[in-house]
Chains A and B, each alone.
Chain A
């Protein structure tokens, strides 16, 4: 067991290139997930997030089989799925959640099919499922920076439009905005976010990194920009703790990050409940 009160415990891993890269990549992922998670939480898109996490699967496998970077395959699969969901959901008889349910299972089945043809790709599968912060290669870090930076840039530039279509699509349409196109853009940004998060938390837990810090932020503030800031901060903090724990205890980083974020969420939830009861009681007296 390392001595947690010794500064050296915290500095030692940072001298390793793989820890530096992993931590940096995971922090970028935490910030991007915090910002996009705010949209996921206020619009109730958790199911879409979960589905996209699975839908990128065939892209990752194909990229692996073709010896390409799995991130690129994931991005393509994620965007194809997003477009497919939007097109099918335009038919009024099919709810969006149904379209999502169809597409992500189809994509996942396709991935499983491809994987069964190649034994060597199963290592890719295990990394896809649970992620590994300490396996981030230099080229992965570059891609994470470019994709993550692009997502943040687009959100910053189109912030007011993304909020408008999320809150009041009817007004957005009256202002002449192409709501379907802006919605598709938001979903594509979500797909990109999920793909960059695959390496650090894996596709099963990515939805937790999107939802949990943003849900905690929602408990702490009533305005969207601070909600994003809180979510990014909580995600980053969980990431730092998760990376150290996984380094010393040799456990999966994704699990450590998500459990840490969940601990913060429940801590805030309990504190808020207690505070509300205390206020209610002092009013009653």
Chain B
């Protein structure tokens, strides 16, 4: 244990803030196939944290385990200081865009309202207030005008913003985003990062998985390098180094010259 007395005393409110996510010896397997192998990890709150790793590293599995959608073979996960089952409404999850069928007959507003379903429970329907919150979220992602469109009419970037609006409508303290920058335009990327920074300034935590190492280095405070195990975790400048990236990505990555020139072979 670290001796607390040698550090400056944090303010009373900060002292009571638990880490956003704590994993202790967490193992997840699909059948006999171990995807996450004894992970131990603590992630601070009010930060934007990037989760990097090659395909098959277990990024999606880790995010799903944090929201309690995967059964753990061993270990525990605490979210906002508690088991996830008791803080579900405070955790918003944004799946990969390609995981859903965008030709589904739903309007943009219908999808954003789904962010409220966790609070509503099984039987209640969205109220007027839920609609107002959803409309405000759509305004934040600059899609108010398209609220009645069928979701398939949107561009990829707009679809990703609808998913983000849905997470914002949940009014969560922790946002988990799976590959939010896959196949989107730069405008959307800017809109998303602006909103994530806003979330951070409100004391909320963001954990996002991505292939885009360049934007991660520029926009994240912390990084987790994952390849079935935690390769490294900490502030960006400590993790974003050639040795760490090489052992995370292996043959999928070529580091040319210094760590600022990277070639990732997806």
Contacts and interface: CB of A to CB of B under 8 A. Distances in A.
A161 interface: yes
A170 B30 contact: no
Interface in B158-180: 166
Interface in B80-102: 85, 88, 91-93, 95, 99-101
A218 B105 contact: yes
Given A92-B31, A173-B67, A174-B91, A167 B117 contact: no
Interface centre among B30, B31, B64, B67 (most CB of A within 10 A): B67
Interface string A213-233: 000001001111001000000
A135 interface: no
B69 A221 contact: no
Residues of A contacting B: mostly: helix
B99 A167 contact: no
B235 interface: no
A158 B68 CA distance: 23
Interface in A194-211: none
Contacts of A166: 104
A167 B100 contact: yes
A224 B111 CA distance: 12
B128 to A, nearest CB: 16
A175 B106 contact: no
A127 B123 CA distance: 39
A222 B150 CA distance: 6
Interface string B94-124: 0100011100111100110010011010110
A276 B99 CA distance: 30
B145 interface: no
A157 B68 contact: no
Given A92-B30, A157-B123, A42 B88 contact: no
A174 B95 CA distance: 10
Given A92-B30, A164-B117, A222 B105 contact: yes
Contact of B122 (A158, A167, A170, A221): A158
A13 B78 CA distance: 69
A168 interface: yes
A141 B107 CA distance: 38
A175 to B, nearest CB: 4
A80 B67 CA distance: 32
Given A157-B123, A167-B100, A174-B93, A227 B68 contact: no
Contacts of A92: 30-31
B4 interface: no
A168 B126 CA distance: 18
B125 interface: yes
Given A161-B122, A164-B117, A168-B114, A42 B68 contact: no
A227 B105 contact: yes
A163 B106 contact: yes
A160 interface: yes
Interface string B28-62: 00110000000000000000000000000000000
B107 A223 contact: yes
Which of A157, A158, A166, A173 is most buried by chain B, counting CB atoms within 10 A of its CB?
A: A173
With most chain B CB atoms within 10 A of its CB, the pick from A166, A167, A177, A223 is A167
Interface in A171-190: 171, 173-177
B67 A223 contact: no
A203 B69 CA distance: 37
Given A167-B106, A167-B114, 19 more contacts: A42-B101, A42-B104, A160-B120, A164-B114, A167-B104, A168-B99, A168-B100, A170-B69, A170-B95, A170-B99, A171-B93, A173-B69, A174-B69, A174-B88, A175-B117, A176-B85, A177-B122, A222-B150, A223-B110
Interface of B: 30-31, 64, 67-69, 85, 88, 91-93, 95, 99-101, 104-107, 110-111, 114, 117-118, 120, 122-123, 125-126, 150, 166
Report the 3 A-B pairs with minimum CB-CB distance, sorted nearest first. A174-B93, A173-B69, A175-B118
